[in-house]
Amino acid sequence: MPHPKTDRRTLLKSGAGAAALSAVGIRNAEAQSRRETLLLISENPPNSTDIHGVGANRPAYEASWNLYDRLMTFGVKKDAAGNEMYDYNSLKPELAEEWNLTPTSVTFKLRRDAKFQDGTPVTAQDVKWSFDRAVTVGGFPTFQMRAGSLEKPEQFVAVDDHTFRIDFLRADKLTMPDLAVPVPVVINSGLAKRNATAQDPWAMDWLRSNPAGSGAYRLERWVPGQEMVFIRNEAWTQGPKPSLARVIWRIVPQSGNRRALLERGDADISFDLPPKDFQELQNARRLKIVSTPVENALQYIGMNCQKPPFNNVKVRQAVAFAVPYERIMEQALFGQGVPMFGGPADPAKIEWPQPGPFRTDLERAKALLTEAGYPNGFETKLSFALGLATINEPISLALAENLSRIGIRATINKVPGANWRNELLKKEMPLITNTFGGWLNYPDYFFYWAYHGQDAVFNTMSYKNPAMDALIDRSRFAASQGDYEAAVKGFVKLAWEDVPRIPLFQPYLNVAMQQSIQGYRYWFHRQLDYRTLSKTA
C-alpha cells in the first residue's frame, strides 16, 4: 500500500501536469482562433447581400463576392511593385470546371460536387435562373450583363443538370470576361423561389438580406450599419480551402478611430483611410501598406447636363477652369493619386484615364460664365457620399471656395453612404464629386457605362450626345485596331469638349494591414476577397 504522502505528491504532480497541459491547450486553441479570425474595419457599410438589388453599394460587392460563386474567375499576376492583383487576361474555373468556346456559343460543364450552403446541389437550372434574373430585373445588373452582349433569357440554356450553354448574339470581346465580374452570381433558385411573391417574382426583397449562394463564406450575423460576420463554408469545393474561419467586418465611421485600432493591433485590416493617414503610416513602417492605382477609374466633378444652369456647356467649362486642382492633390490627396489635369488638348494615348486639358484659370472661368449668361453666378448644391467623406469632403470644400470666387454659391450636401447609390441613380443632383471605375480595363467599357446616352446606368449626369454614342458603339465592335484607336481618341476628346465630368485624379486603393496578414490581392471591384487572406499570428 503506498505511503500517504507519496500518494498525495503523485496526485499533486498529476494534477499540476494536467492543469499545465490544459492551459497549453487553451493557449494553443486561442492562438489558432486568432490566426483564423480577421477583424476588418471600414467607414462605409454594405447595404445589401444581393448584387442585383436596386442601389446595392460598393461594399455590397464585397459581401456578394464572398457569399456567392460565379462560373469563372480571373487569374493572378503581380503588379509593378510585386503585389498580387487579378489578371483580366486569364480566366480560371470556379463553378464551371471547364468550357468549350466557339464563335457562336460557349458551353460550361459544372462541378458535380458543388453545393449551395443549404446542401442543395448547384445545377445548370440554377445558373439559367440567375442569369435570367440578371438580364430582367433592370438597372445596374442588367446593364452590366448587356456590356458583354448578355441580354436575353433565350441566350441561356440548361442542357442538362451539369451543362449550361450561352448562345451569342454577336461577336463581343467582353462576353467572356463579363462572366467573371461580380454580377453573374449563381443563386439557389429553389430557395429564392420559395421566398418570392407574385409582386416580387425574383425575390428581391428576401435576397437583400438572406444570401442563397454557394460561396466560400456564409453569413453568420448582420447588424446593418454596424457589423457583418462571415464564417467559412466548410463544404466549399470551388477552390483551395480558405485559411480564415471567421471574418468580422465592423463599421467604424471615424477615420481617427480606425487608425488607432490598427496602430494598437486591435484590428487587422482597413482601407479608405484618409490619404494623410496612409502617407504617415507608410513613413512609420509599422503596418503593411499596399497602394494600387485603380484601373479604369476616375474621381471627377459631375454636372447635370439636362437641367439649368449645367445644361449650358460654357457653364460646365467655367467650372472646369475654376477647380483648384493642385490644392486638391495637396490638401485632399496628399499625393495619393495620379493627376488627371493639365494635359494636352488632344488625347495622347489609347487608354483611360488620361490627363485632360483643364487647369485652374479663374479669369477664364469668369469669362465663360459671363458668355453663358451668368455674369453674377448662381446658387447650386454640391453633393458627395458621406461614406467616403475622408476624400470627398476636402474636395468639396476646396471646390466650393473656388466657385465662390467666380460667383457660384454652392451649398454642400452630405449624403449618407448607404443612400448614395440610390440618389446617384436618380440622376437629379446638379453638382457632385464621385468616383467611378470600370470593372474591365478598356476605355470603351468605361465610356459605355459613364457617357453613353442610351440610359447608361452610371451616366449619372444625364449627358446625351448622339456623336458620343456613335463613337462608343464603333469602338466596342471595331473591325480593326486602327478603327478602334480612332474611335477611342474621338470619344475622349469629345468628353473634354462637352465636359459633363471634370477629371480630377485616378485614385489609389490604399489598404493598411498588420504585418501578419498575408495573401492580399487587389481586385477591380476595390473590395476584399477573404478566400486568399491568412494570418501568421
The confidence score (pLDDT) of residue 44 equals: 87
Residue 337 within a domain: yes
Instruction: Name the residue range of residue 167's domain.
Output: 58-249+514-535
Per-residue pLDDT at 266 exceeds 80: yes
Same domain, yes or no: 442 and 322: yes
Same domain, yes or no: 110 and 219: yes
Same domain, yes or no: 524 and 482: no
User: In CATH, what number is assigned to the domain containing residue 372?
Assistant: 3.10.105.10
CB atoms within 10 A of CB 518: 13
The confidence score (pLDDT) of residue 397 equals: 97
Same domain, yes or no: 520 and 497: no
Same domain, yes or no: 327 and 232: no
Distance CA 260, CA 526 (A): 23
Cβ pair 286, 259 in contact under 8 A? no
CA distances from 45 to 218, 261, 345 (A): 18, 18, 40
> What secondary structure, in 3-state letters, does 7-26 show?
HHHHHHHHHHHHHHHHHHHH
Residue 291 within a domain: no
pLDDT band at 55 (very low <50, low <70, confident <90, very high): confident
Same domain, yes or no: 101 and 193: yes
CA distances from 401 to 329, 371, 430 (A): 15, 22, 17
Residue 8 within a domain: no
Find where cell 444581393 sits.
50
Per-residue pLDDT tens over the stretch 375-430:
999 999 999 998 788 889 999 999 999 999 999 999 999 999 878 988 998 999 99
Residue 104 within a domain: yes
pLDDT band at 31 (very low <50, low <70, confident <90, very high): low
Find where cell 488607432 sits.
260
User: In CATH, what number is assigned to the domain containing residue 198?
Assistant: 3.40.190.10
Closest CA to 390 of 466, 455, 305, 333: 333
pLDDT band at 6 (very low <50, low <70, confident <90, very high): very low
Same domain, yes or no: 343 and 217: no
pLDDT band at 336 (very low <50, low <70, confident <90, very high): confident
Distance CA 296, CA 354 (A): 10
Residue 16 within a domain: no
Same domain, yes or no: 449 and 310: yes
Residue 459 within a domain: yes
Those residues whose C-beta lies under 8 Å from the C-beta of residue 510, and which sit 6 or more positions away, are 271, 272, 273, 275, 278, 289, 290, 291, 336
- How many domains are there within the chain? 2
**Backbone torsion region of residue 244, taken as left when φ is above 0, otherwise alpha when ψ lies between -120 and 50, otherwise beta:** beta
The confidence score (pLDDT) of residue 4 equals: 41
Cα distance between the two ends of the chain = 50
Same domain, yes or no: 146 and 232: yes
The confidence score (pLDDT) of residue 21 equals: 45
* Residue percentage of the chain with pLDDT more than 70: 94
Same domain, yes or no: 378 and 476: yes
Same domain, yes or no: 243 and 305: no
The percent helix, strand, coil of the chain (3-state, each to 5) is 35, 25, 40
Residue 21 within a domain: no
pTM of the model: 0.84
Cβ pair 95, 123 in contact under 8 A? no
Same domain, yes or no: 395 and 488: yes
Per-residue pLDDT tens over the stretch 494-520:
999 999 999 999 999 999 999 999 999
Cβ pair 180, 73 in contact under 8 A? yes
Per-residue pLDDT at 278 exceeds 70: yes
CB atoms within 10 A of CB 59: 25
Find where cell 441580354 sits.
151
Question: Which residue stretches of 137-237 are H helix?
Answer: 139-146, 175-178, 189-194, 204-207
Residue 22 within a domain: no
